[in-house]
Amino acid sequence: MYTKLFNTFSDAWSLWWQTGKITQDGFIFTIFIGVFAVLWFLLLLVKKPNKNPPLPPGPKGLPLVGNLLALDPELHTYFQNLAQTYGPIYTLKLGKKIGIVISSPALAKEVLKDQDTTFANRDVPVAGREATYGGLDIVWTPYGPEWRMLRKVCVREMLSNNSLESVYALRRRELRQAIKYLYGRAGSPVDIGEQMFLGVLNVITSMMWGGTVTGEERAGLGAEFKQVVGEMTELLGMPNLSDFYPGLERFDLQGVKKKMKGLAQRFDKIFETIIEQRLKINGEVAGSGEESKDFLQFLLQLKDEGDAKTPLTMTHVKALLMDMVVGGTDTTANTIEFALAEMMNKPEVLNKVRQELETVVGKDNMVEETDINKLPYLYTVMKEVLRLHPALPLLVPHCPSTTCTVARYMIPKGARVFVNVWAIHRDPSIWENPLEFCPERFSDSKWDYSGNDFKYFPFGSGRRICAGTAMAERMFMYSLASLVHSFNWSLPAGESLDLSEKFGIVLKKKIPLLAIPTPRLSNPSLYE
């Protein structure tokens, strides 16, 4: 058989040579194709086809460290600048970790809506774990039954509109307290962020366990608590080597873990004391029907009687208290501070808000929370400040639970995904004069922050959307309306307004706003 095949082949060979030049050209072509086919076949054998799509593009990094050395601490602006070069999705190599940065509405939608279940997880940083008893709170618990249980407990019992309605008296009391304090400081500069922080903290702690900070303690403790929460949110946003090289965690080279441990312990001591006192009182009044009706009481009851499949432990109780204190205070207080600063910088906006308040509330009355639904212009101020200074500029980073594809790029399981909502809110292709503070852009109420529009989503979107939106909205509107209605505001002599930001997981003013209140209501007794 081989002889027959050889003969056929050599016959064809001589025929080619004998049929002249054209045949010789054909021969060379055939040889070329043959060699090419063999090489291609060999290549296929050596290199298996790569079915995985590539990672998104990104800046070249150095061996071992990747792009870590180039990171700027002001991550939101740094990420925005890189997006100009690498586009709306890019990769950063952060030591052993892959970071993915998303900066367009279409891709934010793909991550937070189309593939929400996959991305509803967190890559828990060492600082987050240290602050929340090992990540046992709502913010850091992975998506699943435990997270659902924690979120349901908080939203239903504390943060829903119905629960909030039932404790309006607490908010009113705390806000009146704050206004009275400011009245006492008339003519002297006050730290607006600090006072608003204390106001929100008091509302939250009184909703949780009935405790507040008043009188003499107010100034001192306000500053202390604000500093502790501020440092915690700064550590949560800071790039930490222990997150990028898990093997280095035990060395804690930047001291992030140690610092966070110290800060968290300060709150833990308060929580322990309060829980201990409550358990003692509960023992004393058991069965008399005189038990407290606050959030802590509900949690302690749930701990004893809750679902056996997903139990609520004492550690969960403390982690939830930590979430409310850390997640609810700085976010809301910083937003109110930015709003007053932006309005003082644009007196025409401040005057418009004031006029609206004079019409709806009048100079002979203090603002009530029921008034806030009748203040549409103030509402646009809130939306605009949340556009320009979203409290969480990169949301809380998300993390896919499995390797997946976004925009034809591979996003590996466990990557840290930053959605740069700050950059989307300042994108000139979406917003006219994006850097200008202009509440009127929200006049047609086209935009809301329910998480359905990926051009504007200051509270996030999807399963992990902020759990405290209703509370933030009420506290912001009620506090800002009261500040503007009750006082005229001016800067200390020789000071100028600074509107720059400082990055942390929660954005804050680089320079705190110090402003002087001058009472403006008709009757001093209103401030009592």
Half-sphere exposure of 352 (CA within 13 A, CB side): 15
Q: What is the rounded CA–CA span in Å between residue 333 and residue 204?
A: 12
- Comparing CB distances to ligand HEM, the nearer of 151 and 520 is 151
CA distances from 169 to 172, 206, 207, 370, 403 (A): 5, 11, 10, 12, 49
CB-based burial, 198-207: b 16+ in 10 Å, e otherwise: bbbbbbbbbb
- Comparing CB distances to ligand HEM, the nearer of 222 and 328 is 328
- Binding residues (CB under 6 A) for ligand HEM: these are 138-139, 151, 159, 204, 323-324, 327-328, 331-332, 335, 386, 391-392, 395-396, 458-460, 464-468, 471-472
For the CB of residue 158, give the shortest distance to ligand HEM in the complex, in Å. 7
**How many H-runs (helices) and E-runs (strands) does the chain carry?**
19, 10
- Comparing CB distances to ligand HEM, the nearer of 139 and 343 is 139
Q: What is the rounded CA–CA span in Å between residue 134 and residue 315?
A: 9
For the CB of residue 357, give the shortest distance to ligand HEM in the complex, in Å. 21
For the CB of residue 140, give the shortest distance to ligand HEM in the complex, in Å. 8
- What length does the chain have? 528
CA distances from 466 to 183, 232, 348 (A): 34, 19, 32
* Beta strand 416-419 pairing with 97-102: parallel
- The answer for residues whose C-beta is within 8 angstroms of residue 172's C-beta and 6 or more apart is 368, 369
For the CB of residue 150, give the shortest distance to ligand HEM in the complex, in Å. 8
Q: What is the rounded CA–CA span in Å between residue 30 and residue 24?
A: 10
- Comparing CB distances to ligand HEM, the nearer of 88 and 390 is 390
For the CB of residue 152, give the shortest distance to ligand HEM in the complex, in Å. 11
Element (H, E) at 33: helix 20-46
- Comparing CB distances to ligand HEM, the nearer of 407 and 465 is 465
Q: What angle do CA 36, 41, 45 make, to 5 degrees?
A: 145
- Comparing CB distances to ligand HEM, the nearer of 135 and 189 is 135
- Comparing CB distances to ligand HEM, the nearer of 256 and 467 is 467
- The answer for residues whose C-beta is within 8 angstroms of residue 304's C-beta and 6 or more apart is none
| Helices 168-184 and 192-209, axial angle in degrees (round to 10) | 150
- Comparing CB distances to ligand HEM, the nearer of 252 and 342 is 342
In the beta sheet, which residues pair with residue 102?
89, 419
Nearest to 209 by CA among 324, 286, 288, 289: 324
Nearest to 387 by CA among 434, 444, 451: 434
In the beta sheet, which residues pair with residue 406?
409
Q: What is the rounded CA–CA span in Å between residue 306 and residue 303?
A: 6
For the CB of residue 277, give the shortest distance to ligand HEM in the complex, in Å. 23
CB atoms within 10 A of CB 390: 26
Q: Are 113 and 462 in contact (CB under 8 A)?
A: yes
For the CB of residue 282, give the shortest distance to ligand HEM in the complex, in Å. 24
Tokens standing for 466? Answer: 């902020």
Element (H, E) at 191: strand 190-191
Q: Are 225 and 197 in contact (CB under 8 A)?
A: yes
**Which residue is associated with the tokens 């556009």?**
387
- Comparing CB distances to ligand HEM, the nearer of 243 and 337 is 337
Residue 399 counted as an annotated binding residue: no
For the CB of residue 397, give the shortest distance to ligand HEM in the complex, in Å. 8
For the CB of residue 335, give the shortest distance to ligand HEM in the complex, in Å. 4
Query: Which residue in the shown chain puts its C-beta closest to ligand HEM?
Result: 468
- Comparing CB distances to ligand HEM, the nearer of 477 and 521 is 477
Q: What is the rounded CA–CA span in Å between residue 191 and residue 183?
A: 14
- Comparing CB distances to ligand HEM, the nearer of 296 and 466 is 466
- Specify binding-site residues: 466
- Specify binding-site residues for heme: 466
